[in-house]
Amino acid sequence: MGMMDGRRALIFGVANDHSIAWAIAQALHREGAELGFTYVNEAIEKRVRPLAESLGVQTVLPCDVSKDDEIAATFDAIKERWGRVDVVIHAVAFALREELKGRMLNTSRAGFHLALDVSTYSLIAIARCAEPLMSRGASLLTLSYLGAEKVVPNYNVMGIAKAALEASVRYLAYDLGPQGIRVNAISAGPIRTLSAAGISGFKDMLHHHEARAALRRSVGADEVAGAALYLCSDLGSGVTGEVMHVDCGYSIIGM
């Protein structure tokens, strides 16, 4: 008996086997959920298909979350295959690399639009398409980061996108609450994923985190997946509009 037996989960944002979305996928699968994955382009498709196959997952769909028609087509395909969806994992973010260094002051208008479109608006668009396929007990989950609440040097426009994402979680939770659909976020500590690759100084950031977090270590993707399972299963049935920190207690420290 799994906690997610009979549930269907659609997961946006698996890029490779280091992805937080992949850790969440494995946890949902272990508890009996039937999974579907989306990929943004051919390069990612090449990574996602073998991972999907390793879990016996046949639902692998193209979806660029910056395109409304692709999100609509994804949920049309899900409606066709499953008739409904119980869990949606939104683990997608993008900012231009040049926006993730130097002064936030220098964020370009185009860079701002791109970061908030892909990283923030996509959750709203996905929630709107998911709603007709969801019933009481269904839930959406997204991923955030401390840079939404506090200044993290170089995180810049992504911090603004995550702040808007966290506010979107609350407004979506309010809108979808009457139907018994929950919306939450996990604010994860820094994890070595593709998103972190090539970010200058990331290794030093991890060391900084490990020295200062209450637990004196960094968090694993599997630990984020454990919290995701709680929030998306019946264990979390009374929790909505919440941003849960899964960061080894880094964010509770004042000094």
- Catalytic site residue 171? no
Minimum Å gap between C-beta 97 and ligand 0WE is 4
Q: Which of 195, 218, 233, 240 binds ligand 0WE (CB under 6 A)?
A: 195
Instruction: Tell me the C-alpha distance between 144 and 135, whole Å.
Output: 25
Catalytic residue among 145, 171, 230, 250: 145
Catalytic residue among 121, 155, 230, 250: 155
The residues in 119-138 that bind ligand 0WE, with binding defined as CB under 6 A, are none
DSSP 43-75: HHHHHHHHHHHHTT--EEEE--TT-HHHHHHHH
Instruction: Tell me the C-alpha distance between 219 and 22, whole Å.
Output: 15
* Binding flag, residue 19, ligand 0WE (CB under 6 A): no
Minimum Å gap between C-beta 114 and ligand 0WE is 9
Contacts of 120 (CB under 8 A, 6+ apart): 161, 162, 164, 165, 168
Binding-residue pattern over the window 75 to 94 for ligand 0WE, x denoting contact by CB under 6 A: ------------------xx
11 HSE (CA, 13 A, CB side): 33
Crossing angle of the two packed helices 221-232 and 20-30, in degrees rounded to 10: 50
Positions marked catalytic? 145, 155
| Positions that interact with ligand 0WE (CB under 6 A) | 93-95, 97, 100, 145, 152, 154-155, 158, 190, 195-196, 199, 205
